[in-house]
Structure 1
Amino acid sequence: MLPPTPAAGPVVGGYRLAGLIGSGQHGDVHLATDIASGEQVAFKRLRLPAGDPRRRGDTQRRFTAETDATRRLQHPDIVRVIGAGSDEAGPWLVMELLCGCSLERYTHGARLLPEPVVLRVAERVARALAYAHGQGVVHRDLKPANVMVDWASRRVTLTDFGLARGVDAESTRTGLVLGSPAYMAPEQLAGAAADARGDLYALGVLLFELLAGRRPHEAPSLGELLRDVAERPAPDLGSLRPGLPAALVELVARLLAKRPAERPADAVVVADALHDIIRAIDGTAAVPLPRS
């Protein structure tokens, strides 16, 4: 349980900030209270790069794109954005305060989730992506850390569209790598504009990691990782996790295809395939998420 927001603390845009509750590549998240309503929220302050004014401008524009993109997404499995603004310290974003933990907790060893639970969570992520893609929004940074699960309420929430951009948005400068490289599709790492097929590749990495306890490509340096993603086929998931349904192994392999055209047509196709695999495993379409 989060601590109550203290009465004293800086006020930004009508929100009283308290302690830090998270920190990532692009910014810090504080627990905050809406002074008018008393609602507790998550207040995200963008971390602008030091030095180069052009880089700072690029980062601020991407944050603005995040705000515009995410605020128009109204889906039960996508985090709700409440407000946004900017001041002398830079831009900020206010989101609903989520309970639970991220899927990152379940990517290692003894904490791996049961196979049906992984598939049910992944199906919901795929349907949330399908909705976002239908609105012209690409996530660009899908990974376990950006999927929150609350077992008590059985809620799955796709978060942090920090690199989300409209599908028709202008490409970034050549050589600027956005996102988390281990989850990025080969064409994105090569500088191509992100599209829905890149999110599907990231979903394949997420599925692989949650089922195998490791990512399909791991390397000691960024250069080696980029080469592996670009050139080496992903390991066979069935060899790392014997006993998985052949249909699941095949689906993950298709998601991780080097060529975008060889991946599933869209996120709806992926969600439906996961749904069918769940039914084949348990004989029901309604595999519930566990309660804590």
Structure 2
Amino acid sequence: MDGNSGLYARIDALFGAFASGRQSFAEIAEALHTASLGVPEAEIAAMIAAAADRHRLPRALAAAFDGALMHTRDDPDARNETAEGRAGDGTSGETRRTARDSVDDALVNALVQPFKALRARRVQQNRPEDAGLDDALASFKRARSKRQLQTADLHAASADAIPDVPARDSRPPIIGRILRNRFLIEKELGHGGMGTVYRAVDVRKVEVDAAAPYVAIKLLNDEATRVMASLTQLEAEARLTRALAHPNIIAIYDFDRDGDYPFICMELLEGRTVADALAAEPGFAGGEAARQAVRGLLSGMAHAHGQGIAHADLKPANLWLTAGAGMLKILDFGSSLSTTQDDATGGRDALTPAYASPERLEGAPPSPRDDVYALGCLIHLMVNGRHPFNRQTATAARQAGLAPPPLPGLPAETAAAVQAALSFEGDRRPADAARLLAAFDR
């Protein structure tokens, strides 16, 4: 072993990275495989056993690392086969397998969590604690299916490994955490001023081998969590949106909290926003996909208005086009208002000036007629690719005496309804999105 002192130190450092939570089981197993190429199996096994003897990791976990490494050496083609499979069309079975691997990886890391502080301080770990962790890991391994850590496809697990993303706030890192013993936070999808949206694995869906085990989790950032109005807004957004079950509105499943992490669980969408489509796809505006998106937008908002809900911040970035089918989904009812009861989400001041009606810009509370003004702007964008007032605010456009340009290709009655939607006087606009939809259906 003296001739491989460098490798010995490398293995010791890898186990230290695992124990401190900086890298996952799959990442360490992959690194072990790469570092030990050309070294006899018996010598590698002795190095791993020595790490266990010095209490760098429990014996059961050392055995799991050793088994995973030996499996990779015995069957090197498995790594290539998995890489080829991942380059294919991506079956639901592959999605389920990847989700299960992520959950298993998180569970192994969770089991060693209580022992990280001891190892980080290089304190000798007591044998009863070591034995207790060994028992827990052994139980975990027995409970798994034939897809054990020893026979896991390490290349795929490494490709889908949970990234080490630095925290944006003072709370512990969220990537790799399991919220409410159910949602494994796997990847950041995007963030804004108040919070961040992540892709997550729903462990319950994995347990029943569901074809689509992923969900989206919206978390408030640390600062917003300390503001009661932000918590109220998040809860009301979840409650109001969940009541709006409609194909053209994003589905909200639940509002919950796990310690310092209040969150919304919602459907995971793949695709792009209308803003992205308008910016990157020259043929989108005025095309059939855009016209279908307009109908979906009007249908979803007609449903919301029928339930007494005004969105209050409609804009291209809050409209999603799903991958494949291109179905439009309305996002982010975080500024919405129930017009039938005193139940605002707390976001009445949140608006996007280029799509806000004069009343909203002058401080009036949201109403369906304000959404109708925004819908008129969005219809212009999707039909002819331009904002009706070149992104000037409604008050500036009114002061300048501007009028929206004609819309080519629309029936006269439909074009007249869109023209009315852009009136600077609220009572001259259609009362709600259902009136606009009716004009498009004629």
Q: TM-score range by the shorter chain?
A: 0.7 to 0.9
Counterpart-to-counterpart distance in 2, 1:49 and 1:233: 43
111 and 183 in structure 1: CA distance in 2 versus 1, 3 angstrom threshold: same
Aligned residue number for residue 12 of structure 1: 179
Q: Deviations over 1:117-173 (max 9, x none)?
A: 333321221121111112222111211222222252342211221212211336799
Asked if structure 1 preserves the Cα contact closer than 8 Å seen for 2:236 and 2:345, the reply is no
Asked if structure 2 preserves the Cα contact closer than 8 Å seen for 1:65 and 1:165, the reply is no
> CA-atom RMSD, angstroms?
3.0
Counterpart-to-counterpart distance in 2, 1:118 and 1:206: 10
Q: Deviations over 1:26-57 (max 9, x none)?
A: 32110001112222000111236569x7xx22
1:21 and 2:198 aligned = no
Residue of structure 1 aligned with 2:203, choices 29, 32, 35 = 35
Counterpart-to-counterpart distance in 1, 2:387 and 2:376: 10
Aligned residue number for residue 418 of structure 2: 252
Residue 92 of structure 1: how far off its partner (Å): 1.0
Counterpart-to-counterpart distance in 1, 2:359 and 2:253: 33
Counterpart-to-counterpart distance in 2, 1:12 and 1:189: 39
Aligned residue number for residue 264 of structure 1: 430
Asked if structure 2 preserves the Cα contact closer than 8 Å seen for 1:234 and 1:253, the reply is no
Counterpart-to-counterpart distance in 1, 2:260 and 2:408: 52
Counterpart-to-counterpart distance in 1, 2:337 and 2:282: 36
Residue of structure 2 aligned with 1:113, choices 270, 281, 285 = 285
User: TM-score normalised to the size of structure 1?
Assistant: 0.79
- 1:134 aligned partner, one-letter code: G
Structure 1 portions without partners, runs of 5+: 277-292
Residue of structure 2 aligned with 1:79, choices 226, 250, 267 = 250
Residue 187 of structure 1: how far off its partner (Å): 0.7
1:153 and 2:325 aligned = yes
Deviates more, 1:255-264 or 1:226-235: 226-235
- 1:96 aligned partner, one-letter code: E
What does 1:95-106 correspond to in 2, within 5 Å? 95-106=266-277
Residue 226 of structure 1: how far off its partner (Å): 6.8
Q: Max radius of gyration: which structure? A: 2
26 and 247 in structure 1: CA distance in 2 versus 1, 3 angstrom threshold: farther
What secondary structure is seen at the aligned counterpart in 2 of 1:73? coil
234 and 157 in structure 1: CA distance in 2 versus 1, 3 angstrom threshold: farther
Greater relative contact order, per chain length (Cα 8 Å cut-off, separation 6+): 1
Counterpart-to-counterpart distance in 2, 1:122 and 1:159: 15
171 and 19 in structure 1: CA distance in 2 versus 1, 3 angstrom threshold: closer
Deviates more, 1:205-214 or 1:124-133: 205-214
Residue 79 of structure 1: how far off its partner (Å): 1.1
Aligned residue number for residue 284 of structure 1: none
Residue 266 of structure 1: how far off its partner (Å): 2.2
Aligned residue number for residue 185 of structure 1: 357
Residue 77 of structure 1: how far off its partner (Å): 1.5
Aligned residue number for residue 237 of structure 1: 405
Residue of structure 2 aligned with 1:169, choices 342, 345, 368 = 342
26 and 184 in structure 1: CA distance in 2 versus 1, 3 angstrom threshold: farther
Aligned residue number for residue 232 of structure 2: 61
Asked if structure 2 preserves the Cα contact closer than 8 Å seen for 1:136 and 1:166, the reply is yes
What secondary structure is seen at the aligned counterpart in 2 of 1:37? helix
User: TM-score normalised to the size of structure 2?
Assistant: 0.54
Counterpart-to-counterpart distance in 1, 2:423 and 2:203: 49
Asked if structure 2 preserves the Cα contact closer than 8 Å seen for 1:22 and 1:30, the reply is yes
Residue 273 of structure 1: how far off its partner (Å): 0.9
Where is the strand percentage greater, Structure 1 or Structure 2? 1
**Identity of counterpart residues, as a percentage?**
29
Aligned residue number for residue 47 of structure 1: 221
Residue 176 of structure 1: how far off its partner (Å): 6.8
Counterpart-to-counterpart distance in 2, 1:243 and 1:35: 49
Length, aligned pairs only:
266
What secondary structure is seen at the aligned counterpart in 2 of 1:107? helix
Counterpart-to-counterpart distance in 2, 1:25 and 1:235: 34
Asked if structure 2 preserves the Cα contact closer than 8 Å seen for 1:84 and 1:93, the reply is yes
